[in-house]
Amino acid sequence: VHPPPAMGACASADESGDAYIVEQLPPNQLEALYTFKLLLLGPGESGKSTVLKQLKSIYNVTPTQGEIEECKKALHQNTLECMKVLCDQAVAFDYEIEDEELHKTAEWLRDEDLLYNDALITPDQAKAISRLFECEAIKNTFARRDEYWILDAVEYYVENVSRFAQKDFVPDEKDMVFCRIRTTGKNLETKLKGPFPGAGEKDEPSKITYEVVDVGGQRNERKKWIRMFSDVKAIIFLVNLAGYNQVLYEDKSQNRMAEALQVFGQITGWRDESKKPMAKKNVIHGVDIFKNVPIYLLLNKKDLFEVMIHKVGLEKTFPDYKGSSKSDQALEFIRQKFREKCPPGKEVKIYDITGVSRFDVKNAFREIEKDLLKKHKPRIKDEIKKIISEGRKQNGAEKGCVVS
């Protein structure tokens, strides 16, 4: 519903008349046209929630008291969970913890109920955890982290555990980024509003809005993705680069990058032509809805990847890799693997980032924004024209003048 254009508008059906009427569009209507619903997709732990946290910080959405409290609890739980995994795994690897005190700490951490009672770590427990992390058995276990599942931020949690355990501890921005809360159940839609990029033309609003949907990534959450598909203006697909050397949380026998490639192929609508009848069954129904939706691929956790690639070659997961252990060569190989999971004609823009770095997320998002505007502008301009012409007709009818 638009206000009637100002007097004389029905006489000026030329370009300048359009611009004139555009200025009469209420700002909220123009802003609504420049509202983009973005879907964050990717397997569990690829970094969707981390990227969203960074975007919130970039768009000055301050965390609520509830979120800060939730983060505090999560940091304690994350630390305990990591330590529990390490202690269990040390036993599985037959690494003996000789020191009696440390052994006791390890037994406490291995208790099945540890993660169910939401207990916060005390300062004494924090000290014990730090000591335990430094002992031979746990060090050796940690060195073999590619053989079992563990959260990626282990070191951050252990390094900061004594701070977390302080009575008056309040998580800072970095803690907020590093805490890991599994996204389950409801999908989290976040509104981000910022200044419109660039100089701003007559038919552009002063603000641009993003509605970012962060969905659960684990296998059991993926069925819900399909319901989020309507009205999506872009998909941001996250992949954990370090996943070439890691296994899944929900299936310890599955390599994380293999899983990411498969899910990515489902989203782009790629079909394995060599297995036509089979492939159809495996495809999430409805991905064709994404045919015209731009997909941006964020290869995340570059920090971990760059360290890892010097220790474990890409050929471990991709026997066809013939390149060196240089990270840019390996990275290009991975990019190519993902490009190959796009159906012919589907272009995907790829950025590699360290999601825990605000700077990286900001830069990548600026590029995405630029591209998104370029892609959607023709459609938005058409919609504006439609609104104007309807406004004219309405105005003409009201005034009794005929507009061609």
Q: How far apart are CA 259 and CA 33, in angstroms?
A: 36
Report the residue number, 208 or 232, with the smaller CB distance to ligand GDP: 232
Q: Does 151 bind ligand GDP (CB under 6 A)?
A: yes
Q: How far is the CB of 31 from Mg ion (least distance, A)?
A: 28
Least separation in angstroms between residue 45's CB and Mg ion is: 8
Query: What order of strands is seen across the sheet that includes strand 348-352?
Result: 188-195, 207-214, 35-41, 234-240, 295-300, 348-352
Question: Quick one: which segment of 42-50, 157-165, 266-274, 301-309 binds Mg ion (CB under 5 A)?
Answer: 42-50
73 annotated ligand-binding residue: no
Strand 234-240, strand 295-300: pairing: parallel
Structure tokens at 283: 């495809």
Shorter beta-carbon distance to Mg ion: residue 183 or 255: 183
- Which residues, including other chains, have CB under 8 Å from residue 332's CB and lie 6 or more apart? none
12 is in an annotated binding site: no
Using CB under 6 A as the binding rule, whether residue 47 contacts ligand GDP is answered as yes
Confirm or deny that 214 is annotated as ligand binding. Answer: yes
**Closest-CA residue to 344 (of 269, 232, 294):** 269
**Interface with Mg ion (CB under 5 A), residue from 9, 22, 40, 49:** 49
x/- track of binding to Mg ion for residues 124-163 (CB under 5 A): ----------------------------------------
Which of 76, 145, 180, 337 contacts ligand GDP by CB under 6 A? 180
Please state, in angstroms and rounded to a whole number, the distance separating the CA atoms of residues 47 and 353.
10
d(CA 364, CA 7): 45
User: Is residue 10 a contact residue for ligand GDP (CB under 6 A)?
Assistant: no
Q: Is residue 357 within 8 Å of residue 350, measured between CB atoms? A: no
Q: Which is nearer to ligand GDP, 47 or 205 (CB)?
A: 47
Considering CB distances under 5 to 8 angstroms, the limit depending on partner class, which of ligand GDP, Mg ion, none binds residue 114?
none
* Tokens representing residue 54 in the block: 């960074």
Binding of residue 152 to ligand GDP (CB under 6 A): yes
Give me the helices (H) in 93-190, please.
Answer: 100-110, 123-134, 136-143, 154-164, 173-178
End-to-end Cα, the chain, rounded Å:
21
Contact call for residue 50 and Mg ion (CB under 5 A): no
From 79, 183, 268, 354, residue interacting with Mg ion (rule: CB under 5 A):
183
> What are the structure tokens assigned to 344, written together?
């012919």
Q: For residue 300, which of 44, 46, 56 has the smallest C-alpha distance?
A: 46
Q: How far is the C-alpha of 130 from the C-alpha of 109, rounded, in Å?
A: 13
* Shorter beta-carbon distance to Mg ion: residue 49 or 354: 49
Q: Which part of the chain contacts ligand GDP (CB under 6 A), choosing from 129-137, 288-296, 297-305, 332-340?
A: 297-305
What are 384's two structure tokens?
A: 């504006």
Helical (H) or strand (E) element with 156 = helix 154-164
Annotated binding residue 301: yes
Size of the site for ligand GDP (CB under 6 A): 23
Cα 295 to Cα 159: distance, rounded to the nearest angstrom: 37
To Mg ion, the closest distance from the beta carbon of 256 in angstroms equals 15
Contact 130, 162 (CB under 8 A): yes
Q: Applying CB under 6 A, does 304 fall inside the site for ligand GDP? A: yes
Annotated binding-site residue numbers? 45-50, 183, 214-218, 300-303
Interface residues with ligand GDP (CB under 6 A)? Answer: 42, 44-50, 151-153, 178, 180, 183, 217, 238, 300-301, 303-304, 354-356
Annotated binding-site residue numbers for GTP? 45-50, 214-218, 300-303
Interface residues with Mg ion (CB under 5 A)? Answer: 48-49, 183
